[in-house]
Structure 1
Amino acid sequence: MRNLLYSLMLFTVSLLTAQTATTEQIISDLPELEITEGINLHMISPEPIQYVDLSTNKLTGDLPASNIARIKITDSPISEKDKKKQSTSFFSGDTVGIITVVGQSFISQYKAVYRSPDNLNTITNIHIQPEVMQPIEFDRMVFSNSELRKFALDIIQNKTDKKPVRTENNLNLSMQLNNVYVMGDYIFLDMTFKNTSNLSYDLEALKFSIEDKKIHKATNNQSIEMTPVFRLNSQKHFRKNLRNIYVFKKFTYPNSKVMMIRLIEEQLSGRTIEMKVNYSDILKADTF
């Protein structure tokens, strides 16, 4: 019996390893990227970049945006008269390093190959393609931005006649919580904002916080600000309607508190509308 249990355990470990193992990479099989002095290579990722590794000090770079890695050949502190000698430090076709880019759900590696500045076909930017992405198996409750976007788009495209969870009206504005969804450890708020006035609305902020349901004194109010981990779009202006999806990591709060949602206009004396969401509304979240 003990041997049988041990064999089953080994089989389970082997099966899990087979499901999560990443294919081995050999340097000679890596796709090549051409790079030369004085030209930045921009690598554009479909999701936020978590980490970039440059295997040699011949390369340097930074992250000017969350999904863009900027790479170049390291500048040498040499005088003007020695610049000619620098061009002979590399020969066309030389490997100057390995570039590794790690996203939220993948790892991609490239071999950086030197090309002469005389080569007018040197690449200046690339989009990291699916065929060079190796999946990374993180905790499945952690979704990448690409996955969250897909879920959010599924919600937007799913037309329903279901009555909104909450609706607030003020100053010819309407704030509507259409529905609450849950996927793994994430909560999705489907919201619509309507403007029935002739003045367009310039959104300064949409703020989420957990606050006391009953406030006896202003100084006693404990407010905890909440920031979405993802929002489907970042639109700041709308004339009549705006629908968006806001995603949060799973949270809880007691019945003595509410989630406060505030829509704030950009102007100094702008229109503001508030909505209180009870925890019971969150507990009724749908799955999809």
Structure 2
Amino acid sequence: MKLTLYILLLLVSNFLTAQTATKEQIISDLPEIEITEGINLHIISPEPIQYVDLSTEKLTGDLPATNIARIKITDHPNSDEKGKINTPSVFFNGNNIGIITVVAQSFIAQYKVVYRNQDNLNMITNIHIQPEAMQPVEFDKMTFSNLELRKFAMDIIQKKSEKNPIREEKNLKLSFQLNNVYVISDYIFLDMTMKNNSNLSYDIEDLKFSLEDKKIHKATNNQSVDLKPILQLNPQKHFRKNFRNIYVFKKFTYPNSKVMMIRLIEEQLSGRTIEMKVNYSEILKADTF
């Protein structure tokens, strides 16, 4: 009930966002961040960053990770290999040297960059984008960000797994279960559990999802289509006894002549591999949140 109410409020919020223009920003209202030569400033986003705009050539940067923007003052022509200026700075203390705009999946955040001289020993080297700095970006009301999908997956994994899983395969003292399938909007969530009944721990090399023909005729090749989850809740690759995880996919369909094949592959030459076939009818019976 709590989860259903949360989703309802989220959908209403998304709908209202799509109907309302983003609030205008003026430079004087932007939060300030300080920067100096020879220091990299890391801006950390709670969502994957789509792009970063630097308003002047005085600033340069890159994206070393999907949710981190790395910004610095553009190297002066007379700087050494470490970026240290060998001539007096071209900036004055307190100068506004540009605007940083960070666009994520569901928000935009902007900062006014202020120069501080190198004598300041208390320079901040990283900041986390705070909710008060975020402005919602208009987007399709039925599209969810990775942050929202992760929240849904967390809510699923906090539930007790089904006593009678939809599918279960056993081999080599391994048990591989599809506990349940959930759907919200155009997203499919697979709740899966792996159990190891041996004393030998299991190292996951890969968990492959694909669509394959139910029947393979000698005269034809098997038509296989790989499916890639857009998110998995836990990236863990090693477990001793039990491991439960949630895998999220964009909506997919397949005919009755095909099955979804899930292969759990161990990271060993003589690895223990276990396969599971899931019929489309079982996907169509997915629970809603």
TM over 0.5: yes
Change (3 A) 1:79 1:192: closer
Equivalent residue runs for 1:176-255 within 5 Å = 176-217=177-218, 220-255=221-256
Opposite residue 71 of structure 2, the aligned amino acid is: I
Give 1:120-199 correspondences, 5 Å limit. 120-159=121-160, 161=162, 163-199=164-200
The CA distance in 1 between the partners of 2:262 and 2:85, in whole Å, is 59
Task: Go from structure 1 to structure 2 and tell me whether the alpha carbon gap of 1:18 and 1:150 turns closer, same or farther (over 3 Å shift).
Answer: closer
Counterpart residue identity of residue 96, structure 1 = I
Match of 2:10 in 1: none
Q: Percent identity?
A: 79
Q: Which residue of 1 is the match for residue 29 of structure 2?
A: 29
Q: How many residues align?
A: 272
Q: Return 5+ residue gaps in structure 1 as ranges.
A: 1-14
Partner in structure 2 of residue 103 of structure 1: 104
Counterpart in the other structure of 2:7: none
Displacement after TM superposition at 1:272 (Å):
0.2
| Cα drift, residue 274 of structure 1 | 0.2
Q: Deviations over 1:117-162 (max 9, x none)?
A: 1100111000111110011121122211110010001111122545
Amino acid at match of 1:253: Y
Identify the residue that residue 60 of structure 2 maps to in structure 1.
Answer: 60
Equivalent-residue separation in structure 1 for 2:197 and 2:79 (angstroms): 66
Distance in 2 separating the partners of 1:202 and 1:20: 49
Look up the match of 1:5.
none
Judged with a 3 Å threshold, the aligned counterparts in structure 2 of structure 1 residues 261 and 54 are, in CA distance, closer, same or farther, namely: same
Residue 140 of structure 2 aligns to a residue in which SS?
Answer: coil
Deviations 1:208-227 (A, max 9, x none): 00000011239610110110
SS at match of 1:263: strand
Structure 2: which amino acid aligns with 1:72? K
Partner residue in 2 for 1:263: 264
Indicate the residue corresponding to 1:44 in structure 2: 44
**2 CA distance for matches of 1:239 and 1:17?**
45
> Which piece of structure 1 moves more, 250-259 or 218-227?
218-227
> Which of structure 1's runs of 4+ aligned residues deviate more than 6 A?
15-18
Structure 2: gaps spanning 5 or more residues: 1-14
Residue 113, structure 1, aligned to residue 114, structure 2:
yes
Against the structure 1 CA distance between its residues 273 and 223, is the aligned structure 2 distance closer, same or farther, given a 3 Å change threshold? same
From the two aligned structures, give the one with the greater helix fraction.
Answer: 1
